[in-house]
Amino acid sequence: MQGLYRQIYERSLSQPEIFWAEAAEALHWDRKWDRVIDDSRAPFYAWFEGGKLNTCYNAVDRHVAVGRGSQPAIIHDSPVTGTKRTITFAELKDLTARFAGAMVQHGVRHGDRVIIYMPMVPEALVAMLACARIGAVHSVVFGGFAAHELATRIDDAKPVMIVAASCGIEPGRVVPYKPLLDRAIAEATHKPNHCIILAREQCEAELQAPRDLDWTAAMAAAHPVDCVPVDATDPLYILYTSGTTGQPKGVVRDNGGHATALLWSMRHIYGVEPGEVYWAASDVGWVVGHSYICYAPLLNGNTTIVYEGKPIGTPDAGAFWRVISEHKVSVMFTAPTAFRAIRKEDPEGDFVRQYDLSRFRTLFLAGERCDPDTLLWAEAQLGVPVIDHWWQTETGWAIAANPLGIEKLPVKPGSPTLPMPGYDVQILDEEGERVTKPGTIGAIVVKLPLPPSCLPTLWNADDRFRQAYLTRYPGYYLTGDAGYIDEDGYLFIMSRIDDIINVAGHRLSTGGMEEVLAGHPAVAECAVIGVADELKGELPMGFVVLQGGVTKPDEEIKKELVAKVRDEIGPVAAFKLVAVVKRLPKTRSGKILRGTMKSLADDKPWKMPATIDDPAILDEIAGDLRTLGYAKSFKKD
């Protein structure tokens, strides 16, 4: 067990320069690097110092140059509009070259920032790749994001151009983007020189000359431009993630390390061969969309799917199976939340059996902790390996995974398996000492330097980068997650560090309790938070959403859940607070807003999260909390 994987992993730690230099050889370089890793400014490390390449060339032009221009590069499948479209690598090269020409014509230069505010349409990828083509730095903001939040990103990135669409489309409604964009620009101190707007037939956008330009007209007037070699250490993009201060953190991604690690991951983690169809069911506004809708599949010569729909409701719980069957998907990557939603609607998997999934090989799950029950359900329905893996916006690719392209390791439900090359993952206690006893929960950290593709810093915020990730445990990157390593070296992510609760002096993981609750046959999804208690300091409180068709009374289910936690974790958990709820508050990427729920319960001031999927859910949760004697004031900042 772990023979070949173990050799490769240990070599990546003992000989990182040789290991990553070999990986980088799979790319086209305009100039080879002088140093594989530059540690002269540690803890700010730089990969492939002195090297020059172009990410767009490697993702698009390179495949056309070797005769694969007729292969589909992008399949756009949009159940919300009832349309489908296929773009070959040759067509994608032409589109990116012309859109890059349009940006250059209107003043965008190497190093300039461009904000992209788009729905799930191929033009979003075209805009990203066109920025990479000319060395501009893109910052994709989730389409439909609130005007104020977009304004904060405009002021931080200071874009010379914004690329947007007239609207996004959700099931049953159209979301106009242009009014949001106009309000954001009006609020922001920094003003872009131009906006290029993609008109969609579902919603017209009023253009403001001379600032606003029509996408189609700009493309028609543009002259194609070639790829510009950039430094490997030049920023490729900025991706903003929520910050604890309310000010978003701009995660920076470089060109050389990013392309090297992502290409390596496609072949060695996901086990995908060039020419195969790969689908990451996410959004370009999130890191998954950057890494595994846009860049990694195209770098590897795969066909990538841009899906404008939902796992359920577009039109039913068989939506994913239709896409897999129709487009002959080999490997899929999505969030556990999507499968919990599908399971809730179709617990027996009736929709799965309506489609031919013979070409489908593997399902990867990430984005949040995957409870064993969801993983086992998906495995039983699909009959293929279901692989949990763990990574972050900051890393851009998996910290821990099951590397199917090297060898398939035994799956342990609840674990993302083992660390990937370059990640020296350790568990530290509160004093910063390394935990050596298997199964002991502590802070999960990665010993510096981080491998390629991980953030070298935050945009214009080196000090904040240090404080957020490097100060608490010098010499280590703080992941912010808590967990443990078992006797076989398998990593278990139990919760965010802030979600470890102290019950009468006992440090307990809310994730462990969620795992127990999720194992009840009536529970579709759940969340556990710690609430303030005068006697014990904190008490765990559970929120559960029930499976469709459950007829057992709520009070009976609650008693069973309390008994189940008491039996599997012990009386020390003091678990007795349970609410059955219709739904849980989540971000648009599917992460449960546990911190906001805790602030509600403890009557602490809180701010409406910018990424919340449906703000009305918090009113419902507040009502459930008040029933339990909490959330009396429902006060916001």
Q: What residues does each domain of the chain span?
A: 1-42, 310-384, 423-489, 504-627
Residue 423 confidence class, pLDDT cut points 50, 70, 90 = very high
Nearest 5°: phi and psi at 556?
-70, -40
State residue 504's pLDDT score.
66
pLDDT at 230: 98
Amino acid (one-letter) located at 363: L
Shared fold status for 423-489 and 504-627: no
- Contact by Cβ (8 Å): 493, 511: yes
- When pLDDT is cut at 50, 70 and 90, the band that residue 158 belongs to is very high
Residues 6+ apart with CB under 8 A from 443: 427, 428, 429, 430, 472, 473, 478, 479, 481, 482, 497
Q: What does the alpha-carbon distance between residue 121 and residue 140 come to, in Å, rounded to a whole number?
A: 13
Side-chain half-sphere exposure of 448, counting CA atoms within 13 A: 20
**Average pLDDT in the chain:** 93
User: DSSP for 5-17?
Assistant: HHHHHHHHHHSHH
CATH code linked to domain 423-489: 2.30.38.10
List pLDDT tens digits, range 20-32: 999 999 999 999 9
**Predicted pLDDT of residue 279:** 98
- 604 pLDDT more than 90: no
- Is the Cβ–Cβ distance between 28 and 53 less than 8 Å? yes
Q: How far is CA 216 from CA 99, 168, 171, 203, 286, in A?
A: 10, 18, 26, 16, 26
| pLDDT surpasses 70 at 246 | no
Say which amino acid occupies 180: L
User: What confidence category does residue 462 fall into, taking pLDDT thresholds of 50, 70 and 90?
Assistant: very high
Answer with the residue of higher pLDDT: 495 or 240: 240
Inter-CA distances, 258 with 177, 216, 520, Å:
30, 31, 41
What CATH number labels 310-384?
Answer: 3.40.50.980
Q: Any idea which fold 504-627 has? A: GMP Synthetase; Chain A, domain 3 (3.30.300)
> In the predicted model, what is the mean pLDDT of residues 558-579?
88
Task: Please determine, for residue 70, whether its predicted confidence score (pLDDT) is greater than 50.
Answer: yes
| pLDDT score at 532 | 85
The pTM for the full model equals 0.86
For the residues 123-135, what does the mean pLDDT come to? Answer: 98
540 burial class (0-12, 13-18, 19+ CB within 10 angstroms)? buried
**What is the radius of gyration, based on Cα positions, of the chain?**
24
Can you give the pLDDT at residue 634?
Answer: 55
Q: What is the pLDDT of residue 226?
A: 98
Cα-to-chain-centroid distance, residue 160? 26
pLDDT for res 37: 98
